[in-house]
Amino acid sequence: MILVFLGPPGSGKGTQAKRLSSQRSWPQLSTGDMLRAAIQAGTSLGREAKSFMDQGALVPDSVVIGLIGERVKQADCAAGFILDGFPRTIPQAEALDSLLSGLGRQIQSAILFEMPDSLLVGRLAGRRTCPQDGSMYHVESARPKKDGVCDQCGTALIQRPDDQEEVISNRLKVYHRQTEPLVGYYRERQLLRPIRADQGLDQVTQGLAEVLK
């Protein structure tokens, strides 16, 4: 099973990908997480990516296509995987199709997380993440047991640099301009499965389970 999670920033792709990944043992392949790991490791790829990410712009296609190309060939992807935040442009989608066809594989569904922009800003501005293990929280909807501290490992939570309000508005513009055309791309291929993402966490999980039946 190969799934693409498509949707605007803050629509809950990462949260639901983590839940599904732990239920089904399909790895979550998040290009955003891979890029942030490269930034933390101080690699040249990380330095290049940071200048785009801090402004809410997309990292060049060649960089993320290269990352995914390496990752999908690893053994843990054999039974299936969840692409969280990739592809994000038509050239990325085309590169993915050709990569998978070279491996004799194909996407089963592109899940579209539908949510209005007006609600996304609150989701992103309130998000807090653990820099140690990647756990995600929200100051209102998913609070840690102790304010500002990760439940899993006790590390102090941070706000992502691109979750500042001025960067959020650019990320939403970039989504509509560069990523939304993928809705038509996957609809034409009869792979698009929209779900309502403007509901509580468990309702979204249930909506996802329904479309995967």
Query: What does the per-residue mask of binding to ligand AP5 show for 105-144, with x meaning CB under 6 A?
Result: ------------------xx--x--------xxx--xx--
What the block records as the tokens of 88 is: 């994000």
Looking at 36, 123, 128, 171, which residue is catalytic?
171
Dist CA 47 CA 42 (whole Å): 7
Considering only residues 52 to 111 of the shown chain, the ones binding ligand AP5 according to CB under 6 A are 52-53, 56-59, 64, 85-86, 88, 92
Active site residue 160: yes
CB 80 within 8 A of CB 2: yes
Q: How far is the CB of 191 from ligand AP5 (least distance, A)?
A: 17
Q: Which residue is nearest to ligand AP5 (CB)?
A: 32
**How many CA atoms lie within 13 Å of 131's alpha carbon, on the beta-carbon side?**
12
Please pick, from the candidates 110, 204, 207, 208, the single residue that binds ligand AP5 as defined by CB under 6 A: 204
Looking at 24, 50, 143, 160, which residue is catalytic?
160
| Pick from 113, 124, 123: nearest CA to 7 | 113
**How many CA atoms lie within 13 Å of 146's alpha carbon, on the beta-carbon side?**
9
Q: What single letter denotes the amino acid at residue 155?
A: T
Contacts of 34 (CB under 8 A, 6+ apart): 67, 71
Residues in the site for ligand AP5, rule: CB under 6 A? 7, 9-15, 30-32, 35, 52-53, 56-59, 64, 85-86, 88, 92, 123-124, 127, 136-138, 141-142, 162, 171, 199-201, 204
